[in-house]
Amino acid sequence: MSELYKLDPKGNVTSPKSFIAGGTYAGLKTLAESKLDLGLLRSEVKCSSAGVFTKNKIRSHSVTLSEKNLKKGPIQGIVVNSGIANACVGDQGMIDAEECVNVAATHMKLLPDELVICSTGIIGVELPVDLIRKGITEIDLSNDGGDRLAEAILTTDTKTKQASITFELDNKKVTIGGIAKGAGMIHPNMATMLAFITTDAAISEKDITSCLRKAVDVSFNMISVDGDTSTNDSVIMLANGTSKVKDIDFTTSNGNSFQQALNQLCIYLAKEIVGDAEGAQKCIEVKIEGCSSAEDARSIARTIISSTLVKTAIHGSDPNWGRILAAVGRSGISIDENKITLNINGVCMFENGIPVPFHKEGAIGAMNKQDVNIHIKFNNGKFTATAWGSDLSEEYVTFNSMYTT
């Protein structure tokens, strides 16, 4: 996807008008007080809202409560903790989630039903509600507090992931801002990740869910690090309308412009997650062209980017293109092998069903770069898709073999 709008990598969820946020150290994941682990986000006016959550059948109580509150009506605030997942802890998990929401609602002068709660961290550990209760009351919300919130949601991440895009609709400025976290257990259909998206555009309750889902389908659902999906994945979007642009009609050019900007922002955040993957040394992009449907193209791209054999070959700069075609073949999509052309970093290795002779040392040299691009043409239609992932390294295995020890 070409970048249609200028993106500000220093922007975040408080870049749009009338959003305030903050973060603090509550002692949830480390004794180092410089490591923030608790945050709040609030719109100063009523919002329309939407959420997309993990497909894992084992789910955090925080996810369950957030889905419940989103169904009741518009959300105006978020409370989030890192370090503890609030999953697999029995009924106490819901009791704790509700208590955290109640405390945050009081602090932000909202109703509990107007908040969602997000958690990320170790499974099987109860939320330390006393620490969270105290921490919430210490959070100062401000219109430049998005940086602290972006830091508070991190776990094994080595850096914050944040950005904003500002553009014009009807001669008025509109801003979309976002933050995300994720470094391991990343897989399509929601990775081990949290993402919060805010905008000062006005979007109806009817449209905001479909708008968010479209963006997630081409971004967060097109990344893979290790093939796992966590218990806590959540993407929340809030739109407060303070830009004074009338409700966006998604059947018009304004709607198309907003969707493209949202897609671009979410793709940027998704790629930031991949670039910060645990133990990753290379970033992989899989671009699929010429499929008979968009879903076919996405399925093939996701299958390739999720393949352990492909990831390890990329890690070792091994031009073993057969692993890529094997992944294509098990994607479940009907294909014609004799129409396929495959390139890795510009080196053609397979064309129209026949292997292409190439200089192996040259191909290895091309794959030694940090960015590895796999480009496959199927010559069977007009639909395309792109997926992103990382290689699978010895460091990743070592890190995850002692995660809680």
Which positions are annotated as active-site residues? Answer: 192
- The amino acid at residue 255 is G
Distances (CA, A) of 90 to 94, 99, 213, 261: 8, 15, 30, 41
Cα–Cα distance between 123 and 116 in angstroms, integer? 19
> What is the distance in angstroms between the CA of the first residue and the CA of the last residue of the chain?
41
3-class state of residue 342 by DSSP: strand
Residue found by looking up tokens 């009791």 in the block = 95
3-class state of residue 313 by DSSP: helix
Distances (CA, A) of 261 to 275, 300, 387: 21, 25, 18
3-class state of residue 135 by DSSP: helix
Contact 234, 51 (CB under 8 A): yes
Q: Give the contacts of 303 (CB within 8 A, at least 6 positions apart).
A: 327, 328, 330, 331, 332
